Structure 1
Amino acid sequence: MPAGPARSWSTGGGSTPASPWRSAWRAPTSPPSRVWPRATNSIRWVQSPQDELAANFGIPAESIRVISPFVGGAFGNSARAWPHITIAALAARETGRPVKLVLTREQLYYGVGYRPSYDYKVRLGSDRRGRLAAMVHDLRAETSRYETFAERGVLSPGQMLYTTPNVAQMHRTVPLDVNTPTPMRGPGYSTAAFPIESAMDELAHKLGIDPIELRQRNEPDNDQSSGRPFSTRRLRECYTTGAREFGWNRRNPTPRSTRDGDWLVGTGMATALYDTLRAPAQVSVRLDADGTALVESATSDMGPGTYTSMTQVAADALGLAVRHVTFRLGDTNMPTAPLHGGSLTMASVGSTVRDGCDKLRQQAIELAVEDEDSPLYGVSAEDVVVRGGRLHVRDNPARGETYRQLLTRNNRTHLEALGSWTPGQSRSSMYAYGVVFAEVGVDARLGLVRVRRMLGVFDAGRIISPKLADSQAIGAMVGGIGMALLEHTVTDHRDGRIVNANLADYLVPVNADVPDLKAIYVDGEDTEADPLGVKGLGEVVLVGVAPAIANAVFHATGRRVRDLPITAESLL
């Protein structure tokens, strides 16, 4: 399929990525008389293929319905509409029948996006006490020839993570004969964290300063890139909590000083951060006469538990049991929602769910206090609360009635409301933070690296669901093990063929690679960021994993590895 003119877009809270394929198809002179099949697609932003297909086929977006209730894993590449979606729709239009198009494992390597490779050089200088004076970043990143992909987040850590009076950054993209990269977990930030945190660890070793102490000496009072105050920044608490829980004080700082039989044992740590992204969203809320509620939004669930967390927020706001609330998502016929990514869904859609449910609860309360037959008649609306599906006077629980009783008596089949939320302008710098600790064993003769245990401590604002948070954090640690030690796309530069485009040769962590993993979340909310006080968790939990493992490998072996993944060959 021919590519359209080159377009430019950036990640992280910017405009919708322009598609290079929008000019590939022209609208027919007259629309086909047959009805178009409904499009069912696995994607974590249903508006993306809707807009893509509307532009490609010259039809109104309202005529296209995209349904994606279950993504089945996003891995970065399901955030936008790739060419195969248009091909499937074209085939459906021409045949007048539903079409299912499935890419093979090998085709995925050529037909969708991936994490771009970087050549990242960092130089830093400090005084003998470890106070940073300057840092220079020189980045080169791959992109395709038909489209420029540049990650904004790759620059942020070098600008504001530490107090650094002088910072210089050079960021260049290198056009190659490859498909366009795409944002993948911790986009930009996880890439920058590896060289920056490795350099900080190397500086600590050179100066004979504990790595945690070095970072604390350079902890800024405000955002060094903008001068704005932090809305919240509990990074010092993350350092203290992590060091205590991990047993950092038992560490012998001398590299290659600890052994367990044939294994060299080392420990390392690294700091993580990710900006708190937010975007406008809408939801619809309906309370039926049977006392159950339905909440809908065109958001997605690629694994963080959107279904569950939004149900929890709705149940809390409506005063209902969780089992009486149903949350539906992933349909363009539902109220609009932003891209499901960048750790922005809980802040954006969650705040919208709360707004809609608050409005509906208030409707029910006003109906009750104005109903002469209600036990709440004449009571001030501010004095009425809802618990367990029952409206009652705050200081007199016996005086009240259920949603079911209220709606049935008033011959109402349901109440409904539209919730919306748009983030306002903030004068503060808003980020989620974390510290990752890792212990590794390195076979002294074979150079094999095995992660023995790992701990992550995160400042992510209010944690809505601890179980879902653990799923995100532990899953990210597993992914970080792959990033640090296993995952690598091998390209044959003679013909551009990817050599290991299969499940046998592209290595990912399995159960034997996953050791004792634990996550801790420091208490606190960020109500300046959003009404729920969340700061986003899904991205920041990956950012510090690879550098923490790399720093632990240095401590175990005394050898600094500057390329990922860390292989046995690099340690022999």
Structure 2
Amino acid sequence: MTYIGQPVKRVDGYDKVTGKAKYAAEFNVPGLTYGYVVSGTIAKGKITRIDSSRALAVPGVIQVFTHENRPHTAWFDINYKDLDAPPGSPFRPLHDAQIKYSGQPVALVVAETFEVARYAASLVVVEYNEEAHETSLEANLDEARDPKSGMADLLKPKPPKPRGHADKALAAAPVSVQTHHVHGPQHHNPMEMFGTTVVYDGEQKKGKPHFTIYDKTQGAPSSQLYVKQIFGFSSDQVRVISPYVGGGFGSGLRPQYQLFLAVMAAKELKRSVRVTLTRQQMFTFGHRPETVQDVALGASADGTITALKHRAVGATSQFEDYTEVVVNWSGMLYDVPDTTLEYQITPLDLYSPLDMRAPGGVTGDHAIETAMDALAYELKMDPVELRLKNYSEKDWTVGDKPYSSKELRECFRQGAERFGWENRNPEPRATKRGNVLVGWGMATGIWDANTLPARAEAVLTVNGKLRVSSATADIGTGTYTIMTQIAADTLGMPIDDVIFKLGDTDMPLAPFQGGSFTAATIGSAVKQVCTDLGKKLFKLAQKSKGSPFYDADYDEVRFADGHMRLKKDPSVTMPLIDMVALNGGRSVSETSTSIVNPLKTSNYSRHTHSAAFVEVEVDEDLGTVTVTRAVSAIAAGRILNPRTARSQIIGGMVWGISSALQEDSKMDHRYGRFMNHNLAEYHVPVNADIHDLDVIFVEEHDEIVNPLGVKGLGEIGLVAMPAAIANAVWHATGKRIYDLPITLDRVLY
């Protein structure tokens, strides 16, 4: 049986619904202690006094750590870098008396129970010398500057140099539009809050301590590297385990401060320590940055775009230059001869922003795609027709490279057909249902299709099972399942005989899960290692006395149903478990590295594409917006599992509704603090907000992007949705709303 392409149920589903799956703060060990973080209350200044005496007097309190008594660490800027760090000097918890942002951790209370630690934390007195702070991007746009260069430029390229003369072309264009967009900050808010359980294993080799760390992370190797660098540990002193992650959305790409605090306390106290953050503290690190954008488009009367300008300014912290790819997407989508793309950042007294699902992509796509819709109306042209008129065959932003595959035309065609776009009345405010206005909108989506190097191990065990492992993560995307499918197909084994393991630094090295590259990256490594194991098994079979495979070549055999068979004569077969016997009764293992051949991929631009079609109802009296139905047509190469793939796209579509209509972290600039720091006031959709969502996977073959021909799905379901919703609101009301979220006050006024 072939498993790739089949809607296999999640292999980890049973463990999750029964509670067998354990998360970072659920691993219990004897003698465990608990840490509770004390958060600062000002946005900028200096701690002048910390009094922990009342907290230390509480029975059960073990220690209160502050900048005044924290143990020495080995950190230096030269090596204190995590794998997703932007240029600058990363935030250092409890490093000194300086306050860099509101909510900064200023103390850690460690006690015998969580309840005692939480109570004692309320008794810690902190006094400050407060300084003036700046947290408003719009008030400081004149401070915008170019970001510094760094390692992040590899995955986050800066805008290409201008081509042609955009200002002249814009002035000469018979039809033009100019739009201005403000996107508020957003916070990730996965269901599992950040927590770390550090198990102190005692002193082992040469008197060195050993720690087993259960961390909420999107990459166990990232957390291990972080801990090693800061505390000067070697690899054999630190093991990080993260088998299950209750959502991440990018918040777990960088180690968060509870990891540092938990390891620091465990090392100093020589005890096991758990530190978990509260929901409010989840708003004290990382967020999608506030961004201000301006787009200008010029076109000839027939709809040919002759000028494109897209400028964005994003907020960052004072200590790191966090960047996103915001404006480049406009150049990828539309090959305009006169184009200027600009991106700058403004440092503010905030924590560094952090990659959040489709970072930069959903922000930039909203701006260019709503501007395109506005241009279509100025031209009295169908929005789909305008996009087809300006369809790009090559990506000029990387040197006019062709796309490795691009079935965006089919996305437009199939999505429009499924949605019923041909029945659209182009006039705004033309359709009503009772007291609600009905609008239709659409937009294009684009995202990267990267494949990174990774390693995996495959073991044919003594009982004939196949065990495959890699130190990647599964943040809910279905990684356990699709890797099991790939392994089963590659070695022709029943899927019930295949086990895939992940999330452990004792496993072969793999990058963190993010950027929609895990299916391609780890999938390629799993395919490679299973292929290599198959070759090893073939050689064992050849060596056996009287082997029917003695004169055969490897390409003359196939693996199926737990057997190796001759292709030309399938009756010539050998069970894989017999090859364990040929290996002296020992398991047979192989470890391999997968690296995509740059000679094959570097001459192409590799992306996923989508088209989103949306219907909204807008209450004319109340200003409320409801997305009644939406269709997303996705071109993402080979689909490994339609069930988990659809789940990824539906999740992205729901987030698109959330981003367009609800999500907004509200900052009170008087205090420099996010005020709606809970899930009661930070609004996200509930079941009643979600209606008819439909997904189409457009057939797309790509033999260049990676050996499996797959592209990631985590972000492409999101990027086009906010723009499609905004365009539908315009069609319903005749009012352009370029700022997000589109709340009822913006609709009414």
**TM superposition score category, shorter chain reference:** over 0.9
What residue is the counterpart of 1:39 in the other structure?
213
| Counterpart among 414, 423, 428 of residue 241 in structure 1 | 414
| Counterpart among 645, 653, 660 of residue 477 in structure 1 | 653
Post-superposition offset of 1:379: 3.5
Post-superposition offset of 1:384: 1.5
CA distance in 2 between counterparts of 1:41 and 1:15 reads 18
What residue is the counterpart of 2:592 in the other structure?
419
Contact 1:76 1:114 (C-alpha < 8 Å) held by counterparts? no
What residue is the counterpart of 1:454 in the other structure?
630
What residue is the counterpart of 2:501 in the other structure?
328
CA distance in 1 between counterparts of 2:212 and 2:481 reads 27
Going from structure 1 to structure 2, the CA distance change for 1:77 and 1:436 (only over 3 Å counts) comes to same
What residue is the counterpart of 2:139 in the other structure?
none
| Counterpart among 382, 391, 394 of residue 210 in structure 1 | 382
What residue is the counterpart of 1:201 in the other structure?
373
What residue is the counterpart of 1:276 in the other structure?
449
What residue is the counterpart of 2:704 in the other structure?
528
| Counterpart among 377, 392, 413 of residue 220 in structure 1 | 392
Contact 1:137 1:170 (C-alpha < 8 Å) held by counterparts? yes
CA distance in 2 between counterparts of 1:169 and 1:471 reads 34
Secondary structure, aligned partner of 1:158: helix
CA distance in 2 between counterparts of 1:23 and 1:504 reads 28
What pairs with 1:171-320 in structure 2 (closer than 5 Å)? 171-225=343-397, 226-320=399-493
CA distance in 2 between counterparts of 1:24 and 1:64 reads 22
CA distance in 2 between counterparts of 1:94 and 1:323 reads 45
What's the TM-score once normalised by structure 2's chain length? 0.73
What residue is the counterpart of 2:642 in the other structure?
466
Secondary structure, aligned partner of 1:150: coil
Secondary structure, aligned partner of 1:56: helix
Going from structure 1 to structure 2, the CA distance change for 1:17 and 1:313 (only over 3 Å counts) comes to farther
Contact 2:444 2:610 (C-alpha < 8 Å) held by counterparts? yes
What residue is the counterpart of 2:621 in the other structure?
445
Secondary structure, aligned partner of 2:211: coil
Secondary structure, aligned partner of 2:559: strand
Contact 1:238 1:522 (C-alpha < 8 Å) held by counterparts? yes
What letter corresponds to residue 514 of structure 1 in structure 2? I
What pairs with 1:140-159 in structure 2 (closer than 5 Å)? 140-151=313-324, 153-159=325-331
What residue is the counterpart of 2:282 in the other structure?
108
Going from structure 1 to structure 2, the CA distance change for 1:23 and 1:479 (only over 3 Å counts) comes to closer
Secondary structure, aligned partner of 1:148: coil
CA distance in 1 between counterparts of 2:579 and 2:234 reads 42
Post-superposition offset of 1:271: 0.3
Secondary structure, aligned partner of 1:505: coil
What letter corresponds to residue 20 of structure 1 in structure 2? P
| Counterpart among 90, 98, 101 of residue 20 in structure 1 | 90
What letter corresponds to residue 282 of structure 1 in structure 2? R
Post-superposition offset of 1:162: 0.9
Contact 1:369 1:381 (C-alpha < 8 Å) held by counterparts? no
Residues 199-256 of structure 1, C-alpha deviations (whole Å, 9 max, x = no match): 0000001110000000000001211222111111111111011111110001101011
Post-superposition offset of 1:22: 6.7
Q: Given the alignment of the two structures, is residue 518 of structure 1 paired with residue 694 of structure 2, yes or no? A: yes
CA distance in 1 between counterparts of 2:315 and 2:79 reads 14
What residue is the counterpart of 1:99 in the other structure?
273
Post-superposition offset of 1:530: 0.4
Going from structure 1 to structure 2, the CA distance change for 1:64 and 1:409 (only over 3 Å counts) comes to closer
Contact 1:7 1:148 (C-alpha < 8 Å) held by counterparts? no
What pairs with 1:114-129 in structure 2 (closer than 5 Å)? 114-129=287-302
Contact 1:76 1:113 (C-alpha < 8 Å) held by counterparts? no
Q: Quick one: percent identity of the two aligned structures?
A: 40
CA distance in 1 between counterparts of 2:309 and 2:258 reads 41
Contact 1:34 1:96 (C-alpha < 8 Å) held by counterparts? no
Contact 1:287 1:415 (C-alpha < 8 Å) held by counterparts? yes
Contact 2:87 2:322 (C-alpha < 8 Å) held by counterparts? no
Contact 2:480 2:501 (C-alpha < 8 Å) held by counterparts? yes
What residue is the counterpart of 1:361 in the other structure?
534
CA distance in 2 between counterparts of 1:131 and 1:5 reads 54
What residue is the counterpart of 1:505 in the other structure?
681
What residue is the counterpart of 2:608 in the other structure?
432
CA distance in 2 between counterparts of 1:10 and 1:565 reads 34
Post-superposition offset of 1:536: 1.4
Contact 1:462 1:532 (C-alpha < 8 Å) held by counterparts? yes
What residue is the counterpart of 2:741 in the other structure?
565
Residues 412-434 of structure 1, C-alpha deviations (whole Å, 9 max, x = no match): 32111112111232201111100
Give unpaired runs (5+ residues) of structure 1.
none
Post-superposition offset of 1:496: 1.2
Post-superposition offset of 1:170: 2.2
220-229 or 209-218, which deviates more? 220-229
Secondary structure, aligned partner of 1:240: helix
What letter corresponds to residue 530 of structure 1 in structure 2? N
Q: Given the alignment of the two structures, is residue 69 of structure 1 paired with residue 243 of structure 2, yes or no? A: yes
CA distance in 1 between counterparts of 2:242 and 2:745 reads 43
CA distance in 1 between counterparts of 2:616 and 2:226 reads 46
CA distance in 2 between counterparts of 1:331 and 1:344 reads 19
What letter corresponds to residue 569 of structure 2 in structure 1? N
Residues 240-283 of structure 1, C-alpha deviations (whole Å, 9 max, x = no match): 11111110001101011011111111110000001111211000
CA distance in 1 between counterparts of 2:385 and 2:536 reads 54
Number of corresponding residues: 565
Secondary structure, aligned partner of 1:556: helix
Post-superposition offset of 1:369: 2.8
Give unpaired runs (5+ residues) of structure 2.
1-65, 68-72, 97-204
CA distance in 2 between counterparts of 1:142 and 1:188 reads 12
Post-superposition offset of 1:24: 7.6
CA distance in 2 between counterparts of 1:53 and 1:6 reads 14
Contact 1:266 1:441 (C-alpha < 8 Å) held by counterparts? yes
What's the TM-score once normalised by structure 1's chain length? 0.94
State the structure with more CA Rg: 2
Post-superposition offset of 1:443: 0.6
What letter corresponds to residue 124 of structure 1 in structure 2? L
Going from structure 1 to structure 2, the CA distance change for 1:448 and 1:304 (only over 3 Å counts) comes to same
